[in-house]
Amino acid sequence: MENYAVLGGGTMGCGVAQCLAAAGHAVAVFEPSAAAREAGPRRVRDGVRLARVLRRTDADPDEVLGRIRWTDRWDLLGSPAFVVECVPERLPLKEQVLRAADEHSAPGAVLASCTSAIPIDHLARWIGDPGRMIGTHFMNPAPLKDTVEVACGPRTSPDTLRRATEMLGRLGKEAIVVGDGPGFVSNRVLMLTINEAAAVLAQGTADAATVDAVFERCFGHRMGPLRTADLIGLDTIVDTLAVLLEFTGDPRFRPTPLLAELVSAGRLGEKTGHGFHVSVRGRVPS
């Protein structure tokens, strides 16, 4: 059984660690923030309880937590053979973390990134063997989503793709394999939709509930674009749009002023309880 490490203990990192541990795997989570390490076990426990309520797992929260180690030291990761990087969508941070992961992982380890926008071949420049780099774009919340967008760069090896899809299969998730490019398929399309929905809202064409209702009732989407943005986190939306703007040069990816204003005001979506909508669940821990 491969030794797993997750880099980053935020929303996605905790979700991926929960998926791995619930499937019976031991996993080390690297997180330099003491506050995030302290909050991590609670977030995982809450995630397992929710998955049990929704009948998505029968895993015991204590057993899941018992398979997860939290550390701020690279040398305590245990030379993992499979690494899943889940740090925020900021290029300098991604570079720092992937270079360190390349140094501290086992020879031949798969380095999988949860990036939702950065081309995989760009990330592969920072590791010794570009063939070991692949994108595993988990959807949020990771434990409740059955499908992962797997992005292969032009230098991703067939063995890396095989190991990544087998890993996802052990988690009960389907891999949809796509090619490389800014935003891949999902966020190349979704981020434009969210940005334009925010522009429509700012122009007063419709309020947030009505914008979402058009997509939910007319097109049959389970969740409209503005509520989707709240779920993802408006700070993450802005970061992702910035990456897409940088890599495509397309001005359509420049965040609409309303998005920037909401983020500046600390209205980040469900993680703060207030974004385009007020969360019906109240404040959710960040």
**Residue numbers annotated as active site:** 137
**Helix axis angle, 11-22 to 34-53, nearest 10°:** 50
33: its two tokens: 């923030």
Please report where in the chains the tokens 């019976």 appear, as a residue. Answer: 24
DSSP-derived letter for residue 107 is: T
Distance CA 111, CA 156 (A): 10
DSSP annotation string for 81-99: SEEEE---S-HHHHHHHHH
Query: How many Cα atoms within 13 Å fall on the side-chain side of residue 194?
Result: 30
CA dihedral 199, 201, 204, 207 (to 10 degrees): 170
| Amino acid in the structure at residue 79 | S
**H or E element that contains 47:** helix 34-53
105: its two tokens: 């992982």
Distance CA 212, CA 222 (A): 10
The CA-CA-CA angle for residues 207, 209, 214, to 5°, reads 95
